[in-house]
C-alpha cells in the first residue's frame, strides 16, 4: 500500500465531507509508529493503548489548527511524547515516589507482562533504557528505534541538536555500561 502524502490528508481534513476519511488515512499512516513510540516509553501495552487513543483524540481536536510549521508526523510525535511525559509524571506523583522507582516498577511489569515476547537481549536493553534519565531515554528511543534525525527530534522536544547529540551519546555509554555489567 502506497503511503498517502500528508498534504493530501490535511486537504481532506479541511473539507467537512472528507474529514473522517482523512483522519482514517492519518491513523493508518501513523498509529502503529506512535503506538511503538509510546510503548517504548511506558512499556505496558494497556497504558500504551490508552495513551495512543488520548494522543489521537488531541490530534483530531487540533488538526484543523495545524499550521504546517513542522512536518505532520513531528507534530503528532510531539503530542504523543507530551501525553507520555504527563502520564509518567502523574504516575510518579500518584505514588509519591521518585522516577527511578517508577522505572523499577516498569521493569518489573516488563518481565511479567504477557505482551512482552522479546528475547533476553531485548529484555536487557529495555531494562538498560529504564536506568536512563527521562530525556536521554526519549532521545535514544527516537533516534535508535524510530530512526528520527536529530533535527526532527529537536522540533519534537524543543532542544538544540547539539544537546540531543550529547544526550544520545551519554545514553549509549550508559546502556553499554549496563549491558556489560549484567553479563
Handedness of CA 82, 37, 74, 139 (dihedral sign): positive
CATH number of 118-183: 1.10.10.10
pTM of the model: 0.80
Give Cα separations from 70 to 23, 73, 125, 151, 158 (angstroms): 18, 8, 31, 11, 12
CB pairs under 8 A, 24+ apart, for 120-129?
A: 124/178, 124/179, 124/182, 125/175, 125/179, 126/40, 126/43, 127/178, 127/182, 128/174, 128/175, 128/178, 128/179, 128/182, 129/40, 129/175
> For the chain, which residues make up each domain, given as ranges?
1-115, 118-183
| Cβ contacts of 35 within 8 Å, gap of 6 or more | 48, 49, 52
Give Cα separations from 148 to 10, 59, 71 (angstroms): 22, 20, 12
pLDDT band of residue 177 (cuts 50, 70, 90) is very high
- How high is the pLDDT of residue 43? 84
Q: Which fold has domain 1-115?
A: Rna Polymerase Sigma Factor; Chain: A (1.10.1740)
Across 18-27, 106-115, 117-126, the highest mean pLDDT is recorded for: 18-27
- How high is the pLDDT of residue 1? 47
- How high is the pLDDT of residue 89? 86
Asked if residues 124 and 182 have their Cβ atoms less than 8 Å apart, the reply is yes
How high is the mean pLDDT of the chain?
86
pLDDT band of residue 110 (cuts 50, 70, 90) is low
DSSP string over 90-134: HHHHHHT--HHHHHHHHHHHHHH-TT----HHHHHHHHHHHTS-H
Amino acid at each position: 500500500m502506497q503511503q498517502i502524502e500528508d498534504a493530501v490528508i490535511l486537504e481532506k481534513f479541511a473539507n467537512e465531507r472528507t474529514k473522517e476519511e482523512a483522519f482514517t488515512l492519518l491513523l493508518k499512516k501513523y498509529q502503529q509508529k506512535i503506538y511503538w513510540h509510546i510503548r517504548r516509553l511506558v512499556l505496558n501495552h494497556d497504558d500504551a493503548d490508552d495513551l495512543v487513543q488520548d494522543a489521537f483524540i488531541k490530534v483530531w481536536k487540533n488538526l484543523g489548527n495545524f499550521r504546517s510549521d513542522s512536518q505532520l508526523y513531528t507534530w503528532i510525535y510531539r503530542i504523543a511524547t507530551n501525553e507520555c511525559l504527563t502520564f509518567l509524571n502523574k504516575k510518579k506523583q500518584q505514588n509519591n515516589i521518585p522516577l527511578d522507582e517508577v522505572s523499577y516498577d516498569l521493569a518489573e511489569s516488563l518481565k511479567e507482562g504477557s505482551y512482552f515476547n522479546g528475547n533476553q537481549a531485548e529484555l536487557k536493553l529495555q531494562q538498560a533504557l529504564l536506568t536512563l534519565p527521562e530525556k536521554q531515554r526519549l532521545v535514544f528511543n527516537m533516534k535508535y528505534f524510530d530512526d528520527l534525525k536529530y533535527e526532527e527530534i529537536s522540533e519534537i522536544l524543543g532542544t538544540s541538536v547539539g544537546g540531543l547529540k550529547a544526550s544520545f551519546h551519554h545514553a549509549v555509554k550508559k546502556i553499554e555500561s549496563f549491558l556489560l555489567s549484567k553479563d
